Every structure is written in C-alpha cells, then in structure tokens.
Amino acid sequence: METKETSNMTPQQNSESKKGRGFASMEADRQREIARKGGKAAHAQGRAHEFTADEARVAGRRGGEVVSRDREHMAAIGRAGGQARGRARAPKEAAWPTDPALSPAE
C-alpha cells in the first residue's frame, strides 16, 4: 500500500489532495442532517442552551441598539420605507378625482 508524504508536497498540491473533504464540501441536505443530529444530542445531554422569553427580549433589544447607532443605515431604512409608502399610495390618490362616484355632487 502506498502512502503520500505531505511534508514534500507544495501547499497547492496538499490543498488539492484535500478537496472534497470535510463538512463544507458536503451537500446541504447532508450538512443539515448532521447538524440536526448534533442539536438533538446536545438537547438530550442537557448541554444545549434554550433562550427564555426574557433572554430573547434582552438580546433583541441589544441588537436593535447596535443597529440604530449607525445613523446612515437608519436614514436609508427610513427613506426606503417612505418611498415604498409613497409608491403604494400614489395609484390610489391618482384614481380619486377621476372616479365619478367619489366626486362631490353639484
């Protein structure tokens, strides 16, 4: 049986021989299956952390505070929301005056 010596190999040769190995090279379904089994095992052993509602609330608040510090990001979010609302309202307002049922009686 022949064995490869990695000490004499260049880094390129060594990395090529390792292609197709490991978790990252697996199909997504296979990764998901392994991760699911790991999660079940952790819960069975009592090692998995489950957030309480209070812990989740605090974590969400922290995340929101971090995001809201970025003023440019918050301005962009607000601008996009305003533009989307304007686009959604524009057709309704344009149709208003042309609708004879909605025009004031003379």
pLDDT per residue as tens digits for the range 7-57: 555 555 555 667 788 988 999 999 999 999 999 999 999 888 888 999 999
Position of tokens 């952790």?
42
> How would you classify residue 29: left for phi > 0, otherwise alpha for psi between -120 and 50, otherwise beta?
alpha
Residue 15 lies in a domain: no
14 in a structural domain: no
Does some domain include residue 89?
yes
Cα 18 to Cα 88: distance, rounded to the nearest angstrom: 53
User: Is 77 inside any structural domain?
Assistant: yes
* Residue 62: inside a domain: yes
Using the predicted structure, report yes or no on whether residue 94 has a pLDDT greater than 90: no
User: With pLDDT > 90 as the criterion, what percentage of the chain qualifies?
Assistant: 44
Q: Write out the residue range of the structural domain in which residue 51 sits.
A: 26-94
- The per-residue pLDDT for 42 is 92
Residue 79 lies in a domain: yes
Predicted structure pTM score: 0.36
Number of domains in the chain: 1
43 in any annotated domain: yes
Q: Give dist(CA 20, CA 27) in Å, integer.
A: 11
Q: Among residues 46, 45, 24, which one has the least CA distance to residue 35?
A: 24
Residue 84 counted as domain residue: yes
